[in-house]
Structure 1
Amino acid sequence: MNDSRAIPDHDATANPGRSQRSANPGRSQRGGQLSGLRGELTAVITGGVMPIMDSTIVAIGMPNLIAAFHSNAATMQWVSTGYLLGLAVTVPIMGWLQARLGGRSLWIAGLVVFLAGSVACALSWNEISLIAFRVGQGMAAGMLMTLMQTLPVQEARRHGIEQIGSLISVISVPVATGPILGPVLGGLVLHWGSWHWLFLINVPIGLVAIVFALLWMPRDGGTPEGTTPRQSFDPLGFVLVSGGLVAILLALTNVATDGGFGHSSVLLPLGLGVVMLAAFLAEPRTRDPRRALIDISLMRYRSVASGAASYFLAGGAMYAAQFLLPMFWQQLRGHSVLAAALLLVPQGIGSLLSRLVAGPLTDRIGSRTVATAGFFLVALMTLPFAFVSASTSDALLSGLLFFRGLALGILFIPVMLAAYLDIPASAVANATIITRVAQQVGASFGTAVVAVVLEASLRTGGVDGSGAFHQAFWATIAITVAGGVVALWLPGRQGLPGREGLPATQEPPGKQGSPEGQGSPGKQGSPEDRALRDGQDLLDGHAAPGGLEPSGHLQPPDEPGSSDR
């Protein structure tokens, strides 16, 4: 890290108080420099697995919670819903919080709040207190799940790592391991202990994660790279965005529980949420990235727009099946909770294994090709579940889930990566927020659609339970195929001197017409020069006169980096 040949760091220039991170542009853009992030990645993975694992553990233990609190399913459903809504509240303000507090401090705060919420849930005295504490847990989960993606990408930018597929593979490990560990640990906990351990199991993991963060995460200083400096808080934007997301997610959750879109419990919050988000988009602040809560002008970048759309459908495809498969094993195939969890383990293992390959593969051939193939492979591996009969072997179906997991791992890496391909370094946090919101809404949408299809099929009486699940799996396949079509919009090969890749700089789109290999004197072949050429090619003239970037930062043509001063 002491190499004197440091890459240009526009945020370090803008914030002299922060020491400039160095990197050697001549070294490999993959493994060599990625090894320097090993400590931070370990800390992030350890803490990131908690919120993902926690949601699956609690879902497994819902019948036990209902019995323990002498409650009913309608009330206790809010244990999961409250967690989801709490998560939606904090995600939109993560960019502002990180710019104010720093990534390391905010990460540790999220861990502490999540741990406190876990202990509080275990000490709950009735269902109302449990639901309230779960909301707090969800708010902390929103912090952790957003930072889990933002912080490593920002560090990679500081170290000059342009091809980050391998990095995304590593930080997505909790997404793969959480669904494996959650149901199994939940089943074991409920078999040998009380419901309290559904939440207390987070305590040892969280304490280790805090120690790792203190030891290995870089200290905060100045404005974190990947955030917008000097951004003021936007209270109106916060109310409109967070309130709108909460209302929409509540509506989609009610679709699944009430069995259709035509109920007032769905239409009223859905309409309110749409109106609030529309008001946010119409508010003048949204056109000024230094004042807006979320820089929606990033949607002008093809990578962000296509990445968000693809992530929406990827979330829908994943969570639709995640909603159906446990019920498929338990209600249709007659297995216990623990047995159903074990039958789902092969899918998680497959997802974990393929991620090791998907990252480097995406770096090599591009997000578009890998994501499109991933979507269609997931659809293909889901197809047999639309035809299974009572005589179909459990071993065969579990084996199919292993291959479906392989396809899911291939799918999610390029989708997660795509949004970062052609954006300036200061936009990383906002790009993560946009895609995280898209994934969360997509997950709720996918769950709602298959729940409605399943419920409607059962109510018509024209099909048995097996036929109802067949139709629900067909709906899952339709969402997945739609994702494959949208993935064709993703950028292609990235991270190289070509049409799609933009190195991690805050340079303006630059002067049009620079041929390959040419540029300003002294910059031929440099990352900055490639950013100027490739950014302009990619954006196809979207930069406004005077150097106004799609992110909205005014960039004088002759003063690169001045937007952060």
Structure 2
Amino acid sequence: MYGVTIHRTENDTAYEPLASEGALRRLSLVVALGAIMTVLDTTIVNVAVQVLGREMDAPISTIQWVVTGYTLALSMTIPITGWATGRFGGRTLWLTSLVLFIAGSVLCGLAWSPASLIAFRIVQGVGGGLLMPVGQAMLARAAGPKRLGRAMAVVSVPAMLAPVLGPVLGGWLLDHVSWRWMFLINVPVCGMALLLALVLLPRGADRPGERRPLDTRGLLLLSPGLAALVYGLSAAGDSGRPDTRAVLGILGGTLLLGGFVLHALRRRDAALVDVRLFADRGFGASAAALCLYGVAMFGIVILLPLFDQIVLGGDTLEAGLLVAPLGAGAIITMLVAGRLTDRVGARVPTVLGLLVVLAGTAALTTIGAGTGPGVIAGMIFVIGLGHGLVTPSLMAAAYVRLSRAAIPAATALATVVVRVGSALGAAVGAIVLQLLAPSADDLLTVAGERLVPAFEGSFRFAAVVLAIAVLPALLLPKPSTVDGH
């Protein structure tokens, strides 16, 4: 039977570092390079829906599935990563996933109809859904507990850059080249990652584990449940209200996920994902903080471009560039966060980062139609500084008390939490804005100052969620607890 050891013990020598400093840096580079385009593809196509509809002579409702199909495939694939990593080994699975993503990208670039493009986006999503969690698991297992902060800082770069670069890069490619290059641009970047991986990834460092049978019933509950919940939340966010699609998706997804939890508690060690990991203080507190933080941050990232376009009258490119300081600020503090986490534990940088993000978000509640883009960019830069502290610290905290055997399952579970939190944040941000608007029609026209109070209220809501996220962050274990003393 496959067992998951939650806490490290004196005899758990398997979680000593697998890689030297140089080998860890090379592994981090390969994982980040391979993952960045898969994360970027979650946002790069968002600006192309109207162009694709015009080029392919298809209604927007059909073209929207180019975005939705990728997201759902991504979501449905995530739960299987823990089992697949143990069954095939991280290196083999990562290389296979990257090849699948490259093949899907080439096929999307050659698509001849909406149906073919949607189908090929699903292929992309399957490969992309495996890459990030498998890469995180390889890094966590190779780094060892004392270097987790630095490892997670590097692998979090793609997640930080995607909301910033996706819309900007997509808009530039549409204006100057062709929509096909939104997919073909993945090929050289991921091809370079593939070549580097073949040379740099050690063959014997991450071998397959025990070949436990696949939990088929758990897979049939968890993957469709996660996809249905993400779809329902996305539908609610698109419409700004919980319509029939949203209600059915959220209700169905919640029931399936609830069924999986009951099933997993009965199956225990044989379950697809071990939900008992939530009982570990480090993982449980990290997962709760990640989910709440995702709700707030993705709400902010959705609201800012809308504010620029509706209130300030900016175009798509300007709206995307408005979010760019978020990534700039995050990159400045990211590497500091990694080293600080390795030295003093995750609690201090996480709480400090949350307070900085909260301060920047509080400043956003004061903006209006007369606020200059430079002032708003400064506020977003402050949020980015805090974001660079929070993300790698929380990711490291999720794994630091776990055995090496538990990391693949923990990575899958943490990725599910982040995926739900981000979808919930995007949906709730849009719904709160809709509820606070003077009328539903105001979101469909240039409402100007009439919508400013609604945006202010939405940013206040995000600030409240951030304040709540501080509570589980305070429960993160102290370094002495992490070290087992």
Work out whether the TM-score is over 0.5. yes
**Which residue of the other structure, out of 149, 154, 157, is the alignment partner of 1:165?**
149
User: Which residue number corresponds to residue 3 of structure 2?
Assistant: none
Partner SS, residue 231 of structure 1: coil
Deviation at 1:303, TM superposition (A): 1.0
**Which residue of the other structure, out of 64, 67, 73, is the alignment partner of 1:86?**
73
Aligned equivalents of 1:454, 1:371: Cα separation in 2 = 28
**Which residue of the other structure, out of 102, 106, 123, is the alignment partner of 1:115?**
102
Aligned equivalents of 1:375, 1:321: Cα separation in 2 = 14
Which structure carries more relative contact order (alpha carbon 8 Å, separation 6+)?
A: 2
User: Which residue number corresponds to residue 212 of structure 2?
Assistant: 231
Cα contact 1:369–1:492 (8 A) shared by 2: no
Q: Does 1:375 align with 2:354?
A: yes
**Which residue of the other structure, out of 220, 244, 261, is the alignment partner of 2:225?**
244
Task: Give me the TM-score of the superposition, normalised by structure 2.
Answer: 0.91
Deviations 1:14-43 (CA, angstroms, capped at 9, x unpaired): xxxxxx9878xxxxxxxxx43331221111
Aligned equivalents of 1:174, 1:453: Cα separation in 2 = 28
Mapping for residues 304-343 of structure 1, pairs under 5 Å: 304-343=283-322
Cα contact 1:11–1:223 (8 A) shared by 2: no
Q: Residue 253 of structure 1 aligns to which amino acid in structure 2?
A: S
Mapping for residues 243-392 of structure 1, pairs under 5 Å: 243-261=224-242, 263-283=243-263, 286-289=266-269, 291-392=270-371
User: Which residue number corresponds to residue 387 of structure 2?
Assistant: 408
User: Which residue number corresponds to residue 56 of structure 1?
Assistant: 43
Aligned equivalents of 1:376, 1:284: Cα separation in 2 = 36
Distance 1:223 1:286, change over 3 A: farther
Q: Does 1:207 align with 2:207?
A: no
Deviation at 1:449, TM superposition (A): 0.7
Percent pairwise identity: 35
User: Which residue number corresponds to residue 413 of structure 2?
Assistant: 434
Partner SS, residue 164 of structure 1: helix
Partner SS, residue 55 of structure 1: coil
Q: Residue 338 of structure 1 aligns to which amino acid in structure 2?
A: L
Deviation at 1:194, TM superposition (A): 1.2
User: Would you tell me which structure has more helix in proportion to its own residues?
Assistant: 2
Greater shift, 94-103 or 337-346, is seen at: 337-346
Deviations 1:326-376 (CA, angstroms, capped at 9, x unpaired): 222222211222222223222211111110111112223321222122222
Aligned equivalents of 1:442, 1:108: Cα separation in 2 = 28
Partner SS, residue 43 of structure 2: helix
Distance 1:450 1:285, change over 3 A: closer
**Which residue of the other structure, out of 33, 54, 77, is the alignment partner of 1:67?**
54
Cα contact 1:252–1:445 (8 A) shared by 2: yes
Aligned equivalents of 1:275, 1:339: Cα separation in 2 = 41
Mapping for residues 465-484 of structure 1, pairs under 5 Å: 465-484=451-470
Distance 1:45 1:242, change over 3 A: same
Distance 1:119 1:163, change over 3 A: closer
Distance 1:39 1:9, change over 3 A: farther
Cα contact 2:305–2:322 (8 A) shared by 1: no
Partner SS, residue 133 of structure 2: helix
User: Which residue number corresponds to residue 446 of structure 2?
Assistant: none
User: Which residue number corresponds to residue 171 of structure 2?
Assistant: 187
Partner SS, residue 194 of structure 1: coil
Partner SS, residue 384 of structure 1: helix
Q: Does 1:197 align with 2:197?
A: no
Q: Does 1:457 align with 2:436?
A: yes
CA RMSD of the aligned region, Å?
A: 2.3
Cα contact 1:61–1:190 (8 A) shared by 2: yes
Deviation at 1:307, TM superposition (A): 1.2
Q: Residue 347 of structure 2 aligns to which amino acid in structure 1?
A: R
Distance 1:274 1:139, change over 3 A: same
Q: Residue 70 of structure 2 aligns to which amino acid in structure 1?
A: Y
User: Which residue number corresponds to residue 419 of structure 1?
Assistant: 398
Distance 1:184 1:222, change over 3 A: closer
Aligned equivalents of 2:63, 2:406: Cα separation in 1 = 39
Cα contact 2:285–2:476 (8 A) shared by 1: yes
Structure 2 residue ranges without an equivalent (≥5): 1-9, 443-448
User: Which residue number corresponds to residue 5 of structure 2?
Assistant: none
Aligned equivalents of 2:75, 2:228: Cα separation in 1 = 10
Distance 1:419 1:286, change over 3 A: farther
Q: Residue 219 of structure 2 aligns to which amino acid in structure 1?
A: F
Deviation at 1:222, TM superposition (A): 7.7
Aligned equivalents of 1:288, 1:104: Cα separation in 2 = 27
Aligned equivalents of 1:128, 1:440: Cα separation in 2 = 26
Aligned equivalents of 1:346, 1:284: Cα separation in 2 = 42
Deviation at 1:258, TM superposition (A): 2.8
User: Which residue number corresponds to residue 113 of structure 2?
Assistant: 126
Task: Give me the TM-score of the superposition, normalised by structure 1.
Answer: 0.78
Distance 1:68 1:453, change over 3 A: same
Deviation at 1:113, TM superposition (A): 0.9
Structure 1 residue ranges without an equivalent (≥5): 1-6, 13-19, 24-32, 503-530, 535-565
Deviation at 1:284, TM superposition (A): 6.2
Deviation at 1:468, TM superposition (A): 2.1
Aligned equivalents of 2:239, 2:36: Cα separation in 1 = 31
Greater shift, 319-328 or 339-348, is seen at: 339-348
Greater shift, 196-205 or 35-44, is seen at: 35-44
Partner SS, residue 479 of structure 1: helix
Aligned positions, number: 469
Q: Residue 32 of structure 2 aligns to which amino acid in structure 1?
A: I
Aligned equivalents of 1:351, 1:324: Cα separation in 2 = 19
Deviation at 1:377, TM superposition (A): 1.6
Distance 1:10 1:212, change over 3 A: same
Q: Which has the larger radius of gyration?
A: 1
Distance 1:242 1:286, change over 3 A: farther
Q: Residue 465 of structure 1 aligns to which amino acid in structure 2?
A: L
Deviations 1:131-188 (CA, angstroms, capped at 9, x unpaired): 222222112111011112111111113xxx5242122112212222333432332222
Partner SS, residue 203 of structure 2: coil
**Which residue of the other structure, out of 117, 128, 136, is the alignment partner of 2:123?**
136
**Which residue of the other structure, out of 370, 373, 378, is the alignment partner of 1:399?**
378
Aligned equivalents of 2:399, 2:264: Cα separation in 1 = 26
Mapping for residues 38-57 of structure 1, pairs under 5 Å: 38-57=25-44
Q: Residue 156 of structure 2 aligns to which amino acid in structure 1?
A: S
Aligned equivalents of 1:379, 1:283: Cα separation in 2 = 38
Greater shift, 276-285 or 436-445, is seen at: 276-285
Q: Does 1:149 align with 2:107?
A: no
Distance 1:286 1:141, change over 3 A: farther
Cα contact 1:314–1:412 (8 A) shared by 2: no
Aligned equivalents of 1:134, 1:246: Cα separation in 2 = 15
User: Which residue number corresponds to residue 560 of structure 1?
Assistant: none
Distance 1:184 1:268, change over 3 A: closer
Cα contact 1:446–1:479 (8 A) shared by 2: no
**Which residue of the other structure, out of 441, 465, 478, is the alignment partner of 1:492?**
478
